[in-house]
Structure 1
Amino acid sequence: MTSIAARLGRLFETQRVVVWHDPAGEHTASLEALDLPDVEVLRVQNNEFALKHRFLREESETKFLVYRSGQVPEKTGNWLLDQDLAWGVFSADKATLLRQDLGLDGEDVDEVVAAHEAFFADETLVAALKPRLARGDGPLQVRAKMSAVLLEEKDHSLREITRRLLIEHASGKGKGKHTASFDRLAEHDLDAYFWQGAASIYGYESAQPSMADFVLWLFTQASLRFPGQGTAVRNIRLDFESWRNDRRSQQAMQKLAEKVAQDISYADQIENHDFRDLLEDDVFPQTEQKIISALAGKVADRTISAGEVAEIVRKRKLNSLWYERYEAAYQGLETAADLITRLWTIDLSITSFDDGLTKYRTGWYVIDQRYRQFLHQASTLADRSDVLEHLREQIDRQYLARFLQPLGEAWSRQLDALTAWKSDVLRPQTKFFNDHVAPLHRKDRRVVVIISDALRYEVADELKREINGQDKYSAVLDAEMALLGVLPSYTQMGMAALLPHTTIGPTGKDDRVQVDGQAAGGAANRSKILAEVGGTAVKADDVLRNMNRDGLRALLQEHKVVYVYHNRIDAVGDKMETELNTPEAVAAALEDLKTLVRKLMNAYAGTVMITADHGFLYQEVKPADPDFVSEALPQGDEIFKQARRYVLGKGLKAAAALHTFTAVQLGLDGEGMQVQVPRANLRLRRSGSGTRFVHGGASLQEIVVPVVKVTKKRTSDLSQVEVRIMAEGDKITTGQIVVRFYQEDAVTEKVQARTVRVGLYVDDVLISNQPELHFDRTSEDKRDRFQDVRLLLSREADEFNGRTVELRLEEPITGTTGWKTMPQKATYALKRSFTSDFDF
């Protein structure tokens, strides 16, 4: 009665007479409990005329509550009909009270209240529902919002309610065919409503509907590319795309897809399909596995071009939900296709010592790079790690037979005629300090040199590209700046060659080296040598892990020359137990070096140079017996160091399998000292050391030493490719539209790719699907930089027929899951010749 009194009180604020019909007489006994100040209660007891005379004539200023119980006579039999029409009729039955409290119109809503007594008896649920409702909501809208309340979902659309149910179904919560959330809908008699919506909007019909059955139907329809026509097909296609692409539900949809694929034995269904027929499919992960497996076979057999592989990979990246999971495999395939093409088209002829040096550092090194990258990509597959095994075997075989071995032999023939270790196209590694550091030192400029042990030329090329991909950083790896590495190409000799010195040579004790008569091994000795030019030596691990920016600044202010010694590649590769992890070690080294550069530059290092002591030879296949020199070699009067790829000694005996040089020929100090290195890629026999990763010899991979110069700009030098909308026409007359986009620039190290989300809007209402596009083409040919996208109108579009529609582009907000609107846009007039029955 308190609630009723409050409602009546609000009515009396605007009117003098209120007529209350109480057909069941529920409130007859409690009528006197009403507390309505200045209001007189009148009961209708066959005294209608007298009552009318009283409140209309006798007391025309008094407020009256006219209470009537029982059935009201119809038409002229109702003597108070004119008052009912004039003042309106107050009703206090529960359904009416709720409807009025919720601010709803229409008695059809009373049916909802009556049908869902448990829901409306729960004050918490009603309180949550009330702010969601709007005047004019009918039974369908009210039930939709009730469902959203039960699922704690902000949006009451069928798309979002279904998304919530799919997410929970994928989590495995609940019992049997349904989840706890769906069971909650059923407890409040809203399950039939949900299935009614699924049938009318999505076309899902079943004699025994369930979430499990809906999921099976959904993915089966998707795998068939949603056959049929009509609004229901378009609705389910659009919402399926939303569920799969939206980060809120993407992981859940992947789990459901995997479950359905197993249930329907999808892998068996596509076993005999040509992979090209599956390129438009991405519902189940087995499609990806089939495509990758087929591509691996064709790449290995050379029955597909590298260009076609690259295009297939690009399309899968653009269109497939599963691409990220199989990215390493796709990248491996693309790398392998490019590598095999190069292996079968390369000309390894060498006309001179300098010709070999030039050809390697201007092109041939890419084959070593692709080989290493492929091995790394193949080793990081998330699952089905054996899918590239046959291809891997072919790559190993062809890399050795078509590149490493013939190149080694061709290069050895040039070494046969060599009388002095010098070049007209490369400066010697021993001149590095004089050529690169001293000029800056004389100008009193701060110089940092990072020496990364075994940073091969091809690895430095990848490092250069990755540094250039960072804002404000500029890295240069000029082929003319490369160094002719010292021979033999082992760590102690290469590290010593990079120090300031006049003379350099082995000490004759093991592999130790001295410069200007001083020991050059170890950080302490190198710091002592660098101190003579105001410099010092530090370990990269100390910079990476133990020094903050202030500590680095202090170090750089105290020393004008700082050598930073980094050892990741050689530390892993030069051990028998870990040499097979060389590709992974290179990847880790690249990350280390980028971090070092950032830390040093942030501490105001002026110029950072990155170089190496030597390169390396690497093959994944274990060398066979013919890859080793005879067990009888080497021979000599005195041998004080023998490794896999070099010998230091005196009185060394010449052999066909070895190149022999004197210290003088190599520009080294050491009276009577000699060096021998195996021909081509041969190894010396030595127990206890690895054979796949080796260095110390004279191969191009070992002795072409890179120099990368890194500087930092004050202003940003990165940009993203520009995207242009190539709009054709200004009207949308059907349920879909195809829009063409043009990527203005080719992707380069400083012009980066762009991810864009596209959608059609009326004001702030999205009325289409919202696909993502990747503008990542590197081609200079403009014809290669066009993309088409098909936009499907959603069921919300019908509300805006005749309105102006805006095509909007959005891009990700860095570091967040949000998107921001781009300035590019196009407008269309929505003029469809039909209206759809999407409303639900």
Structure 2
Amino acid sequence: MNLTEVQNVLNTMLSAEPSDGQKRNIVFWYDDDGEFQERISEIELKSAKLLTISNNSFYIKYLIEEEEPETNFLVYSPCSKPQPRDNFLIDILKYSKEFSADSTTVIMRDLKIDVSLRSVVKKYAVFFGNKDRYRKFASYGLTKYSEQIIDTAVLSALLKLPALDIEGVFKTVLVDGLLGEGKFITDIEKFGDMEAFWSLAGDIYGYTLKDKDIKLLAISMFLKHMSVTYRGSISENMAKFIGENISNAFVFIENFMNTPNYIMIAEMITDDIKLPSLIKDIETDSFIETDTFPIFDREIIRRLIENLTHKAGEFDKYIRQIKERRKSHFYKNYENEYSALYYAAKLLSLEQHYGKKIKGSTAIDLYELYKKEYYLFDTYYRKFILHYDRIQNLEEFTPLFMLIENTYINFFLSELSVKWESAVLGLQTQWSLPSEIPQQQFCKKIVSSYIDKGEKLFVVISDGLRYEVAKELCDVLNTEHKGIVNLDTMLGVLPSYTSLGMAALLPGEEISYSDSGEVRIDGMPTKSTEQRATVLKKKYPKSTCVSFDDIRTMSKEELRAVTVGQDLIYVYHNTIDGRGDNASTEKQVFEAAEDCITELTKLVRKLKNDGNATNILITADHGFIYRRTALNESDKTPKELISYLIAKRRFIMTADKKEIHGTSRYAMDYLMKDSSLEVVIPKGTNCYKVSGSGSNYVHGGASLQEIMIPVIRFKSDRSSSDKLKVKKVSVSLTSLTRKITSMITYLEFFQNEVVEEKWVPVRLKAYFADEEGNRISNENIIIADSRSKEFADRTFKEKFTLKSGKYDKTKPYYLILADEEEKINEEVQKIKFNIDLIFNNDLGL
């Protein structure tokens, strides 16, 4: 400090309002090296007198205490401060202030650091000698100091962290030392204290190894985290890395996992400790909750593939393991793998449940069984293929794919089609089921039931929306919209293809075919949207037809302009058939089914909100069959040389009575009075031999997947009642105690409502926090999605690990349950707890 700076500081100290009951200010200045001895007289004091110590301590004492008891004094000594026993002025010094012009003292005074920490500050002289580093340290606004706090603040500043952050220090150093060039570590060695870093590593994270090595530190912290959930055996050599302070390391790794560099370090350590060989012979359940390293997920996936492929049979166990992994950190990285395995297990479990035998003998029995149970085979297969296609490395999954394909095609499709074909032999002359509304009576039986009562109706026709996809759509609508959602079915027309199915959904007295094979209603063409609108208006004058693609881009005003004044609005949607009925995109048909569900859900919302819709029907022209592996050419039915009106892969429409081997015939006079036409369909799920690709996705036949037409009835509820409002299930803490006595504690939770209809799943984050909202534990994920009525199936037990630190048993702490999907009001519950640890570890941080 220069003389002017010294003078300004001294005047400020001497003119300040006296404190601690004093009437004046006395400042002692021990100038160790006598740096200012020659110039002390130059200092101009505004409100005090200068006294210089020079073998005159008795006089100074007398002057201050007796002669001038109310005067402010600066007492200057060109020597070091004497020991208390040698200091004649010690009693005055005790109620006075001290000034020093050396840099350490100035720093401590500026930052308000207690003199007891002088040696700590002094060791960082080089650090504080740089204005930028000094400014960064000061920016942390610390009000409480200890050696650890100062060490942490210096490290935080050197690592350019925005705030004092012990976790940030260790994250940065680990990344710098293991993946970077070591620049930050070099800065610590130059301007900080690397020994302070290792001291913190020992005190906070329990690193006790003699070797001060960054990689060994990382191994120690990762293994501490692993040890909390790992139930398998480990070697003595590995055990020495675990040691103490596991809770702090566990919470550190939990947070470190959310950084982009974590996986690279985790994979590096996996190789270093030879983790694959360690867990090779360990039971899966011993590490089913462990997610420290991605290798655990890969090993679990490998074992699940192996067990499912070999049909080990413990499907409930595998499903439970997959569900358990949903809470693990890396689940999102392997979500498609786990999902494919989940649906594979569900499909194989279903096969096992039915004993590889399709039940039901009559057409009505099979129809009802498919509607209630058998449709799940199609859903599980669709979901398996959907996620299988999204997996990047498919080689490992190939054996499982072949098993699922074989099970689905050679068991389910084959068995069901044989049973169904036998059951509908009696329907070949009259295609109908007593329990089902025929598709061609859709307007007469269903649409008119709304219009006749003066209720406005929107009808959405989604091309190729088969029953099982509609079932999922129905579930989604139930959970996303306030209203009543029901799913009915109709018996689809034969042949089950677009032109006839679309026509059957229009009003009219007579369906017929032109000489070119075009379907007509009462003599009117029905191919285009405009032509269908003409047919519709004949029966319902206040009606219109519009495409989904047009509606999706309409503003609210534009949609109202189209629908106002209309009693009936048909909306045509074509996502599934649009992609499936194209050889170049048919493999995307299950992705299209997902898109279809999303699009129709959004459409319902738009019609409700912008179109003021109350009643909405969603139906289809036909369903479909899809198998990933194509039919062998030898398995396809040859097309004989017969005349025909229409010929497709799945059917021929003809008046020619010539028999074709391997086919079934259905008379068309069920639909067209006195018609001589018949539809000839290959048996089972076979196709005709036709040139070109594109036989994986087919429709036109008589299988249940093709002819069971869904009818979703949605009625919006605009009332203020909460009865039909979609609600998330609630979760309650059932553990009775509200007191924590150890660093690791277990709590039990209960899902109060069953997931069904208007009750939807909830995904909660659970963690502990202090009064200021600072997290003091790891975070657990609670997935409350059980559909079980059994209480035990809706109970969750979660493990919480507290950070090491000082916990005040008189202060409140809180268990926070937060909805992971909510971005603004995420907090669901805040439950007060007391923490009274048997061993309370005060780290001063």
Tell me the TM-score normalized by structure 2.
0.90
Secondary structure of the residue aligned to 2:764 is: strand
Does residue 219 in structure 1 map to residue 217 in structure 2? no
Q: 1:137 aligns with which of 140, 145, 161?
A: 145
State the distance in 2 between where 1:133 and 1:526 align: 74
2:256 and 2:262 in contact (8 A); partners too: no
Does residue 655 in structure 1 map to residue 664 in structure 2? no
State the distance in 2 between where 1:350 and 1:358 align: 9
CA 1:234–1:253: 2 relative to 1, 3 Å: farther
Q: Which amino acid aligns with 1:516?
A: D
Does residue 675 in structure 1 map to residue 675 in structure 2? no
Query: After superposition, what is the alpha-carbon deviation per residue over 1:732-766, rounded to whole angstroms, capped at 9, x for unaligned?
Result: 44433222222212222422222333344554465
1:429 and 1:484 in contact (8 A); partners too: yes
| 1:202 alignment counterpart | 205
Shifted more, 552-561 versus 53-62: the winner is 53-62
Secondary structure of the residue aligned to 2:341 is: helix
CA 1:292–1:8: 2 relative to 1, 3 Å: same
Does residue 377 in structure 1 map to residue 387 in structure 2? yes
State the distance in 1 between where 2:156 and 2:681 align: 77
1:358 and 1:425 in contact (8 A); partners too: no
> Map of 1:164-175 to 2, 5 A cutoff?
164-166=172-174, 172=179, 174-175=180-181
- For residue 397 of structure 1, report the CA deviation from its aligned partner: 0.9
Query: After superposition, what is the alpha-carbon deviation per residue over 1:467-493, rounded to whole angstroms, capped at 9, x for unaligned?
Result: 21214254321xxx3111111111100
State the distance in 2 between where 1:829 and 1:85 align: 40
State the distance in 2 between where 1:279 and 1:76 align: 67
Does residue 427 in structure 1 map to residue 437 in structure 2? yes
Identical positions, percent: 26
Q: 1:270 aligns with which of 271, 279, 282?
A: 279
- For residue 829 of structure 1, report the CA deviation from its aligned partner: 6.1
1:453 and 1:569 in contact (8 A); partners too: yes
| 1:399 alignment counterpart | 408
Q: 2:710 aligns with which of 706, 726, 734?
A: 706
Shifted more, 136-145 versus 283-292: the winner is 136-145
- For residue 417 of structure 1, report the CA deviation from its aligned partner: 2.5
| 2:367 alignment counterpart | 357
Q: Which amino acid aligns with 1:116?
A: Y
2:681 and 2:701 in contact (8 A); partners too: yes
Q: Which amino acid aligns with 2:531?
A: N
| 1:2 alignment counterpart | 4
- For residue 275 of structure 1, report the CA deviation from its aligned partner: 3.2
Does residue 615 in structure 1 map to residue 619 in structure 2? no
Shifted more, 424-433 versus 36-45: the winner is 36-45
State the distance in 1 between where 2:67 and 2:746 align: 76
Shifted more, 519-528 versus 684-693: the winner is 684-693
Shifted more, 761-770 versus 448-457: the winner is 761-770
State the distance in 2 between where 1:198 and 1:432 align: 74
> Map of 1:492-531 to 2, 5 A cutoff?
492-510=499-517, 512-531=518-537
- For residue 82 of structure 1, report the CA deviation from its aligned partner: 4.7
1:234 and 1:794 in contact (8 A); partners too: no
| 2:186 alignment counterpart | 183
- For residue 644 of structure 1, report the CA deviation from its aligned partner: 0.9
State the distance in 2 between where 1:471 and 1:663 align: 41
2:362 and 2:423 in contact (8 A); partners too: yes
Shifted more, 22-31 versus 810-819: the winner is 810-819
1:342 and 1:367 in contact (8 A); partners too: yes
Q: 1:44 aligns with which of 31, 41, 53?
A: 53
CA 1:734–1:808: 2 relative to 1, 3 Å: closer
> Map of 1:730-769 to 2, 5 A cutoff?
731-761=739-769, 763-764=771-772, 766-769=775-778
Shifted more, 120-129 versus 762-771: the winner is 762-771
Shifted more, 210-219 versus 555-564: the winner is 210-219
Shifted more, 75-84 versus 521-530: the winner is 75-84
- For residue 698 of structure 1, report the CA deviation from its aligned partner: 1.1
| 1:148 alignment counterpart | 156
| 2:295 alignment counterpart | 286
Does residue 416 in structure 1 map to residue 418 in structure 2? no
State the distance in 1 between where 2:162 and 2:193 align: 17
> Map of 1:210-609 to 2, 5 A cutoff?
210-223=213-226, 233=243, 235-245=245-255, 249-318=258-327, 320-346=328-354, 347-381=357-391, 383-418=392-427, 419-477=429-487, 481-510=488-517, 512-532=518-538, 533=540, 534-544=542-552, 546-603=553-610, 604-609=612-617
- For residue 577 of structure 1, report the CA deviation from its aligned partner: 2.6
| 1:643 alignment counterpart | 648
State the distance in 1 between where 2:345 and 2:142 align: 61
Shifted more, 119-128 versus 727-736: the winner is 727-736
Does residue 30 in structure 1 map to residue 39 in structure 2? yes
- For residue 596 of structure 1, report the CA deviation from its aligned partner: 1.6
State the distance in 1 between where 2:574 and 2:441 align: 22
State the distance in 2 between where 1:135 and 1:589 align: 59
- For residue 262 of structure 1, report the CA deviation from its aligned partner: 3.8
CA 1:838–1:76: 2 relative to 1, 3 Å: closer
State the distance in 1 between where 2:130 and 2:588 align: 63
Shifted more, 673-682 versus 45-54: the winner is 45-54
Q: Which amino acid aligns with 1:569?
A: I
| 1:810 alignment counterpart | 817
Uncovered stretches (5+) of structure 2, i.e. residues with no partner: 19-23
Query: After superposition, what is the alpha-carbon deviation per residue over 1:566-624, rounded to whole angstroms, capped at 9, x for unaligned?
Result: 11111222222322222222122222222222222211122221111111111112112
1:489 and 1:702 in contact (8 A); partners too: yes
Does residue 100 in structure 1 map to residue 102 in structure 2? no
Q: Which amino acid aligns with 2:759?
A: V
CA 1:767–1:16: 2 relative to 1, 3 Å: closer
CA 1:264–1:139: 2 relative to 1, 3 Å: closer
Q: Which amino acid aligns with 1:572?
A: R
CA 1:211–1:816: 2 relative to 1, 3 Å: farther
1:305 and 1:337 in contact (8 A); partners too: no
Q: Which amino acid aligns with 2:699?
A: H
State the distance in 1 between where 2:796 and 2:196 align: 42
Q: Which amino acid aligns with 1:812?
A: D
State the distance in 1 between where 2:668 and 2:709 align: 20
CA 1:333–1:760: 2 relative to 1, 3 Å: same
CA 1:399–1:513: 2 relative to 1, 3 Å: same
CA 1:657–1:50: 2 relative to 1, 3 Å: closer
- For residue 136 of structure 1, report the CA deviation from its aligned partner: 5.5
Q: 2:195 aligns with which of 178, 192, 196?
A: 192
Q: Which amino acid aligns with 2:307?
A: K
CA 1:814–1:350: 2 relative to 1, 3 Å: closer
2:120 and 2:147 in contact (8 A); partners too: yes
State the distance in 1 between where 2:631 and 2:342 align: 27
Q: Which amino acid aligns with 2:195?
A: A
Query: After superposition, what is the alpha-carbon deviation per residue over 1:716-738, rounded to whole angstroms, capped at 9, x for unaligned?
Result: 61222222222244654443322
State the distance in 2 between where 1:237 and 1:22 align: 49
- For residue 563 of structure 1, report the CA deviation from its aligned partner: 1.4
Aligned alpha-carbon RMSD (Å): 3.0
Q: Which amino acid aligns with 1:809?
A: I
Tell me the TM-score normalized by structure 1.
0.90
> Map of 1:9-28 to 2, 5 A cutoff?
9-13=11-15, 14=18, 15-28=24-37
State the distance in 1 between where 2:835 and 2:217 align: 37
Secondary structure of the residue aligned to 1:463 is: helix
| 2:697 alignment counterpart | 693
| 2:21 alignment counterpart | none
- For residue 374 of structure 1, report the CA deviation from its aligned partner: 1.1
2:763 and 2:820 in contact (8 A); partners too: no
Secondary structure of the residue aligned to 2:312 is: coil
